[in-house]
Amino acid sequence: MPVAFWPLARTPAVLSIVPFVLWGPVYRREFAPDRSRLTGLLWGFALWLYAYHLFIVSARGLVRLVRGKTGWAKTRRNAETAGVGPVATEA
């Protein structure tokens, strides 16, 4: 990618991260003024990571649905009685 496109690539990243990261200091100022500014910033960064992971998990879930892998082995394992050999296998 040419260097001239980096500002265009950075802009969506900044616009998607900054609102989440700024939430932390605002929350700290309003509801936890006894905490440090660094703590507020870390809260905002943690919120961004939490929200971002939902995009990854949702995309993975969609791929599993498209591939037809809709089973959840743990659910089957909880419903079965103890037996010999493998209990839960992905179909």
Contact 23, 40 (CB under 8 A): no
What's the CA gap between 62 and 13, in Å, rounded? 23
Tokens describing residue 59: 């995309």
pTM of the complete model: 0.63
What's the CA gap between 75 and 81, in Å, rounded? 12
| Amino acid, single-letter form, for residue 70 | T
The residue ranges of every structural domain in the chain are 3-73
Name the DSSP class of 82. Answer: P
The closest of 16, 19, 23, 20 to 40, measured between CA atoms, is 23
pLDDT digits (tens, 9 = 90+) for 14-66: 888 899 999 999 999 999 999 999 999 999 999 999 998 998 999 998 999 99
